[in-house]
Chain A
Amino acid sequence: MNATVHPLDDLAAYALGVLDGDELRALTVHLESCASCRAEVRSFAETAWAIAETQGRDAPPRMRAAIVERARQDAERRAPRRFAGLWRELLRPVPLVVPLALAAVLLVALVGYGSARRDADRYATVVAGAVGARVVSLAATGAVAGVRGSLVVPANGGAPYLILDLPAPASGKTWEAWVIRGGTPVRAGVTDARGVTALTLTANVAGGDTIAVTEEPAGGVDAPTGRAVLAGTS
Chain B
Amino acid sequence: MARIAGGDPAALGELYDRYGRTVFGILYRLLGSAEPAEEVTQDAFHAVWRRAATYRVDRGSVRTWLLAIARNAAIDWRRTKGKRLEREAAIDEAAELIEETRVDDRVIASLRAERVRAAVAVLPDEQRVVLSLAFWSGLSQSEIAERTGTPLGTVKSRVRLGMSKLRERLRLEGER
Selected contact of A17 from candidates B7, B29, B71, CB within 8 Å: B71
In the complex formed, the residue of B with least CB distance to A8 is B160
Contact yes or no, B68 A17, CB < 8 A? yes
| CB pair A155 B79 closer than 8 Å | yes
Nearest CB on A from B62, distance (A): 10
Interface residues on B, range: 35 or more
Closest approach, in angstroms, between the C-beta of A215 and any C-beta of chain B?
30
A47 located at the interface, meaning its Cβ lies under 8 Å from any Cβ of chain B in the complex: yes
Q: How many residues of A contact B (CB 8 A)?
A: 60
**Residue pair A70, B60 in contact (C-beta under 8 Å):** no
Contacts of B28 in A (CB 8 A): 55, 57
Q: Mark B59-79, 1 if CB is under 8 A from A, else 0.
A: 111011001110111011001
Contact A57 B9 (CB under 8 A): no
- Give the CA-CA distance A94 to B67 in the complex, in Å: 48
Further pairs besides A9-B156, A53-B22, A58-B24: 12, Cβ < 8 Å: A16-B163, A20-B142, A38-B58, A43-B167, A54-B113, A55-B29, A64-B17, A67-B42, A131-B69, A131-B72, A155-B79, A156-B138
11 residue pairs of the A-B complex, CB under 8 angstroms, read: A47-B166, A53-B22, A54-B116, A55-B28, A59-B38, A60-B34, A68-B12, A71-B49, A74-B50, A156-B75, A158-B140
The 6 closest A-B pairs by CB, nearest first: A132-B72, A57-B25, A128-B54, A45-B64, A12-B163, A20-B140
Contacts from B to A (Cβ < 8 Å): 7, 9-10, 12-13, 16-17, 20-26, 28-29, 34, 37-38, 41-42, 45-46, 49-51, 54, 56, 58-61, 63-64, 67-69, 71-73, 75-76, 79, 108-110, 112-113, 116-117, 120, 131, 134-135, 138-144, 156-157, 159-160, 162-164, 166-167, 170
A positions within 8 Å CB-CB of B: 8-13, 15-21, 31, 35, 38, 41-60, 63-64, 66-72, 74-75, 78-79, 124-125, 128-129, 131-133, 155-158
